Structure 1
Amino acid sequence: MKILIVIPALGSVYGGPSKSVVELAQALGTFGLSVDLVTTNANGSTSIDLPLYVWLSKKFYRIQYFPYWALSDYKISFSLTIWLFQHVADYDLVHTNAIFSYPILAAYWACQQQRVPYVVTPRGMLEPWALSYKPGKKRLYYTLFEKLALQRASAIQMLASTEAEGTKSLNIKTPLIIVPNGINYQEFENIPNTELFYQQFPCTRNKTLILFLGRIDPKKGLDLLATAFAKAHKEFPEIHLVIAGPDNIGFLATVQNYFMTAGCSDAITFTGMLTGAMKYAALAAANIYVAPSYSEGFSMSVLEGMAAGLPCVITTGCNFPEAAAAGVASVVDINSDQIANALIEFLKQPLQAKDMGDRARQFILENYTWDSVALKLISVYQDIIIKRHQNPVSLELGG
């Protein structure tokens, strides 16, 4: 089975989506699929410094980068467009990641012309909050391009049941499949020593650390976290908040002002983006993980926090009701008071908090690994390909 994965960009500054797509490609390849990944070399305000127009071989997949032209945050790549029209017919199925993006639009058109089935993963971009952010442009784009493309897809992958529920108002008739993100359990077997983190950020030593791991972005709820953390800090002055993530859109100054206004900026450390051993050292040093998001597809960082054995405070916007049902995370409404109260409860009862973290780790390792995710998607791919061979005209009709 030959699978082509398309994503607008894989730069490290894009956080969870980039990581999850690369790890998905690798997981699919371990089960014997022939997997190719194409993308642009975008990486925020810079470009990835890797060869273009050639296949770069990884352990279980190949990747090829194409140059792009930036129009605001829109990535236009004519060379990738030409390549897609020339080569999508070489594949049994195309799997796109993201929407409202030119490279994805080109993939839709190429698949439709060549009658190749495609699966769409919006990665949270059809969430009500996401659609309400800069709604004018999105409404026009959706009407002109995205709606018809989604209707002609063979399936739309939703990362969570709540994400699927959130799309009902769009009246999309395409089959929705729910397959979450996963983690590589090997990365959490031997987490680095905390000293690595303390040496880099000495002001965090001997503190009770609350960790936020994600992009500095309006949807991440850092305005709510500022108010919530300030409330918890008044009661527990020994706590310290670590905000670890890149600032792709120049939002950092606004976020810093949130904490200054809340009166707790002295107890905050902004680390920038953490990768590799330093990220895992931060997870090891942390006592509590917090994700106050307004909207997520399915957060990779929440999975990582839970897999690291941390008690987690997450909002309903993180789309993880299964964690609440299993009692392995404190899932609260998108509300600063509720976030604060959940943090305070963990701080008051550290033994119970640790127990929840231990159960969270076990829950993730049993249910959310890339191996299990890949097997579910392979089954979906097989069903679509079989259906295509049985009824090839259905692709023309959007069935």
Structure 2
Amino acid sequence: MKILMVIPYISSVYGGTSKVVKELTQSMSNLRAEIDIITTDANGFLKLNLPLRTWIKEDSYKVQYFPCWHKYDFIISFYLIKWLFKNIKNYDLIHINTLFSPVVLLTYWVCQIFQIPYVVTPHGMLEPWALSYKRWKKQLYFNLLEKPSLKQATAIHLLASSEANNVKLMGLSHPVIIPNGIHCQEFEKLPDPDIFYQEFPQTRNKSLILFLGRIDPKKGLDLLAPAFATVHQQFPNTHLVIAGPDSIGFLPTVQNYFTEVGCLDAVTFTGMLGGALKLAALAAASIYVAPSYSEGFSMSVLEGMASGLPCVITTGCNFPEAERARAAYIVNIEAEAIANALIECLSHPLEAKAMGDRARQLVLGKYTWEQSAIKMIQVYDAIIQQQPIPTLES
């Protein structure tokens, strides 16, 4: 089995999608699947500073970066496509990640020309809110170019049951549900929260509400601002930590949201956190919040839950299983609903802790990269052997 992962970008500034591709590839490679990644040097407003057009070894898989032209996450790389034309026959299957990119569109067409089967992971880009954002451009592009190629995909990999239902309503077939995961060992013992406090001393001795994610319109920070203002008025010791990269220049707009509601001085923007510092932020936090309009299946939600935090997430996060397990507050995509759930957590800390314990148990038991990798390899095997694709549920 030889698999090629294609993704227009893999820099960490693009958030969870990049991390998902790396983690899934690593976990499958650990199971002795031979997987390569090709991508570009796009890096938000900048370019990645690393060798191009040559294989770079990353643990148990290889990745090759190609030069590109890009504006934010709109990326064109004829070098990548030229390489694909020359080398696609060396692979049994192509796994394409994300949508609405010239790199992705051309990859579909190369697969079709050479009759190589391909799997597509939209990473939440077919969710209703995501499609409605910049609607007329996306609808035209999707109906004319993207949808015909999605119909020819051997399988469409979805991250949640609700995402699969939306895809079926579009007339697309062969959905396979395999969720994102976490590495259990990272959450067995979180680091000392003092690591985070030393970096951001204004957060010490506060009740921290943590948001982990890109600074992006879909993340619902316009809702979080008035919600947190309400919470902070009732609980003055609360402090909001917004941890994530700003890859599209949206940060000034977000800061203005909090200025308008009068609580910017109780908010810390950390930029992107990684490694021990991110885990220390989770250890320091009292509550995790995800006010998103739309997600595929949020990595940071899983991380918050695996850390044992009481989590307030919206219906846009696509995690009804957490509500059924009483492992999170799932609220409507409204500022008032977000505020009420945060206040409930702060008002009843013992019940909130019990919910966090249930969240940790749920995630560590069902949502690991090892489990997701096994399921994805089963799908690859079935496709390559031209057998029925197994029905997999999260």
Shorter-chain TM-score: which interval?
over 0.9
The Cα of 1:59 is off from its aligned counterpart by 1.7
What's the counterpart of residue 34 of structure 2?
34
The Cα of 1:168 is off from its aligned counterpart by 3.6
Contact 2:314 2:332 in 1 (8 A): yes
Secondary structure class of the residue paired with 2:241: strand
The Cα of 1:73 is off from its aligned counterpart by 3.9
- Write the distance in 2 (CA, Å) between the matches of 1:274 and 1:336: 26
Q: Aligned residues, how many?
A: 388
Give the direction of change, closer, same or farther, for the CA distance of 1:43–1:72 in structure 2 (3 Å limit): closer
The Cα of 1:266 is off from its aligned counterpart by 1.6
What's the counterpart of residue 92 of structure 1?
92
What's the counterpart of residue 234 of structure 1?
233
Q: Give the gaps of 5 or more residues in structure 1.
A: 391-399
The Cα of 1:150 is off from its aligned counterpart by 0.1
Contact 2:55 2:63 in 1 (8 A): yes
Give the direction of change, closer, same or farther, for the CA distance of 1:245–1:320 in structure 2 (3 Å limit): same
Farther off after superposition, 49-58 or 122-131? 49-58
Query: Residue by residue, what CA displacement relative to the aligned partner does 1:222-251 show, whole Å, maximum 9, x if unpaired?
Result: 111111111111111111100111111111
What's the counterpart of residue 220 of structure 1?
219
Mapping for residues 110-149 of structure 1, pairs under 5 Å:
110-149=110-149
The Cα of 1:386 is off from its aligned counterpart by 1.5
Q: Give the gaps of 5 or more residues in structure 2.
A: 389-394
Query: Residue by residue, what CA displacement relative to the aligned partner does 1:161-195 show, whole Å, maximum 9, x if unpaired?
Result: 111122344222x2111111111112112322111
What's the counterpart of residue 252 of structure 1?
251
- Write the distance in 2 (CA, Å) between the matches of 1:169 and 1:175: 13
User: % of aligned pairs identical?
Assistant: 61
Secondary structure class of the residue paired with 2:252: helix
What's the counterpart of residue 338 of structure 1?
337
Displaced runs of 4 or more, over 3 A? none
Give the direction of change, closer, same or farther, for the CA distance of 1:11–1:254 in structure 2 (3 Å limit): same
- Write the distance in 2 (CA, Å) between the matches of 1:72 and 1:254: 17
The Cα of 1:285 is off from its aligned counterpart by 0.4
Contact 2:216 2:246 in 1 (8 A): yes
Query: Residue by residue, what CA displacement relative to the aligned partner does 1:251-271 show, whole Å, maximum 9, x if unpaired?
Result: 111111111111211211111
Contact 2:45 2:71 in 1 (8 A): no
- Write the distance in 2 (CA, Å) between the matches of 1:204 and 1:74: 36
Query: Residue by residue, what CA displacement relative to the aligned partner does 1:311-331 show, whole Å, maximum 9, x if unpaired?
Result: 100000000011011111111
Contact 2:51 2:65 in 1 (8 A): yes
- Write the distance in 2 (CA, Å) between the matches of 1:149 and 1:85: 17
- Write the distance in 1 (CA, Å) between the matches of 2:262 and 2:169: 40
AA of the residue aligned to 2:27: A
- Write the distance in 1 (CA, Å) between the matches of 2:129 and 2:178: 21
The Cα of 1:94 is off from its aligned counterpart by 0.7
AA of the residue aligned to 1:226: A
Q: Does 1:103 align with 2:76?
A: no
Secondary structure class of the residue paired with 2:8: strand
AA of the residue aligned to 1:384: I
What's the counterpart of residue 397 of structure 1?
none
What's the counterpart of residue 395 of structure 1?
none
The Cα of 1:218 is off from its aligned counterpart by 0.6
- Write the distance in 1 (CA, Å) between the matches of 2:71 and 2:56: 27
Secondary structure class of the residue paired with 1:171: coil
What's the counterpart of residue 392 of structure 2?
none
- Write the distance in 2 (CA, Å) between the matches of 1:45 and 1:251: 12
The Cα of 1:143 is off from its aligned counterpart by 2.1
Q: Does 1:275 align with 2:274?
A: yes
What's the counterpart of residue 178 of structure 1?
177
- Write the distance in 2 (CA, Å) between the matches of 1:97 and 1:360: 28
What's the counterpart of residue 151 of structure 2?
151
- Write the distance in 2 (CA, Å) between the matches of 1:103 and 1:44: 16
The Cα of 1:35 is off from its aligned counterpart by 0.6
Secondary structure class of the residue paired with 1:124: coil
What's the counterpart of residue 243 of structure 1?
242
Contact 1:127 1:297 in 2 (8 A): yes
- Write the distance in 2 (CA, Å) between the matches of 1:332 and 1:159: 20
- Write the distance in 2 (CA, Å) between the matches of 1:289 and 1:90: 44
Contact 1:84 1:106 in 2 (8 A): no
The Cα of 1:40 is off from its aligned counterpart by 0.3
AA of the residue aligned to 1:148: P
Mapping for residues 1-399 of structure 1, pairs under 5 Å:
1-71=1-71, 73-172=73-172, 174-387=173-386
AA of the residue aligned to 2:61: Y
Contact 2:312 2:330 in 1 (8 A): yes
The Cα of 1:72 is off from its aligned counterpart by 6.1
TM-score, structure 2 as length reference: 0.96
